[in-house]
Structure 1
């Protein structure tokens, strides 16, 4: 089961939210279909055209947007007024703006975190969730991704050493996120761009189980690399602006929602334990651990599982109607 055919949006707009931010918002597929919101990862990755192909355009009203500070949203790269709480409020504002009563949330990586935060905030407005590459924003999740003794560093020590090079002189008494943040918010543009490249490359190198592309192609879009590095560091430095274990402590609020959890067995960015722990906390959830897959949604078996999940959600919606 491969991706659905490529399709262009039937409507695009810039949507004003709070604090001077404008979000790029687009809709694709069937305007009268089941509303489904795509929540991109990062934070800071933005949307790309391929996300629309996870959904049957004849039956879904596909909604996507660039979160604050990335993609086509403005101001680009802004860290001010950029928190999880504000992103949740943006999602709710989009729902109100589009006059949607209930919708499906589809999110991967950081998008899974945001989807869970939105669902916990307003479960009554959610039909169901499709989540990939679960990130629960706990201290152990940050450590897995960034720390020397974390899983990613242990599996990819040579790439991790490259990741540390821009900040080696600053690590005494500082966390990795703090050291990078100091560079990202400095006025030294040369040093800043080198750090952005190193941060982006670290994630790109460990995101797939099999990387068969030239390393020079890992950063095809400098614009995207800038926003992803800046915003990802910003959110990790501030523990994603949520209390420790916030999501697992609030799963009771979403226990009745149908939730399809998909996670690569060899995901090095977000550890598979996160998906398992979330599933254990939600009796109404389904967990698919995908063999021979890492973190990326673009890996063959993960793509198949995601397309299958959107078809299953359609069947559920028809049965409920």
Structure 2
């Protein structure tokens, strides 16, 4: 592919703060770009992942007023790695409060990748009249088959057998029938060393599956202790509960959002959220434009994916 788009130049937030959302949680948020521009919210992937400076660089800062924030329990939000009152429904309510209390806009564009795509759909289906457009990347519908792909043998393990072997090695053989529960016991152990060992193994498996070409530097970033604990505890929490979504719920909810322009950017070689989910969403919602990038994997930063995403935000900027 030629004429690949690159991230917009770095920008600093013009305003930041903490939003109390109940149950002791406070969300860290940043507003960037043009205060008079088109409002957009970036929903980060990985329930425990957090948002960073590059996430606001996918939008033209002259034309967009950009909100990035850390979801409950991760990044700079508080309390750290908290599982209490941390469900999809809580996060959907948080996004709506950010719209009214932080951005003060009637409607906004919603941009989300991976878990952020799940949350984007859940929010749009709950508040269809508050969304101007959707940009989705690496679609995850939270079906049981998608969870099994990541955490049962025969899915992603068939692509990364070496990474899988390391992932399961933390769990005694007799407990591997339900890896999610086995990891949960360790991630919530009173022994901090047990917690950290499990968190690093969980997050390293995450790093293996999301990167098209895993590198030691990338995996080292995923296993940094504080990041690993938040990612592992919160992500395991969501996976164990099916995201608090009924099977097929997001596909059924498409009827509520057909009027919303949507661009889906999906990597052909995405091993974390394979194209089958994006295809199912497109089949249920043919009005949504699906772009399967032949040179893309999972991460927004891969050239083909980044190109598609920035072209999408440019198209929706007016």
TM-score range (shorter-chain normalised) is over 0.9
The structural deviation recorded for 1:189 is: 1.1
The TM-score with structure 1 as length reference comes to 0.95
- Is 1:181 paired with 2:184? yes
Give the Cα separation in 1 of the matches to 2:77 and 2:215. Answer: 32
Q: Which runs of 5+ in 1 are unaligned?
A: none
The structural deviation recorded for 1:301 is: 1.1
The structural deviation recorded for 1:249 is: 1.3
- 5 Å-filtered alignment, 1:1-321, equals 1-97=5-101, 98-150=103-155, 152-171=156-175, 174-214=177-217, 217-219=220-222, 221-314=224-317, 318=318
The TM-score with structure 2 as length reference comes to 0.95
Q: Is the 8 A contact 2:200 2:223 kept in 1?
A: no
Q: SS in structure 2 opposite 1:12?
A: strand
Distance 1:47 1:176, change over 3 A: same
> Aligned residues, how many?
313
Q: Is the 8 A contact 2:7 2:57 kept in 1?
A: yes
Give the Cα separation in 2 of the matches to 1:280 and 1:122. Answer: 22
RMSD (Å), alpha carbons: 1.3
Give the Cα separation in 1 of the matches to 2:254 and 2:148. Answer: 23
Q: Which range moves more in the overlay, 132-141 or 204-213? A: 204-213
Give the Cα separation in 2 of the matches to 1:47 and 1:153. Answer: 28
Distance 1:215 1:117, change over 3 A: closer
Q: Is the 8 A contact 2:204 2:223 kept in 1?
A: no
Q: Which range moves more in the overlay, 222-231 or 42-51? A: 222-231
Give the Cα separation in 2 of the matches to 1:246 and 1:205. Answer: 29
The structural deviation recorded for 1:121 is: 0.2
Give the Cα separation in 2 of the matches to 1:220 and 1:200. Answer: 6
The structural deviation recorded for 1:294 is: 1.2
Q: Is the 8 A contact 2:33 2:64 kept in 1?
A: yes
Give the Cα separation in 1 of the matches to 2:218 and 2:53. Answer: 23
Q: Which runs of 5+ in 2 are unaligned?
A: none
Distance 1:244 1:216, change over 3 A: closer
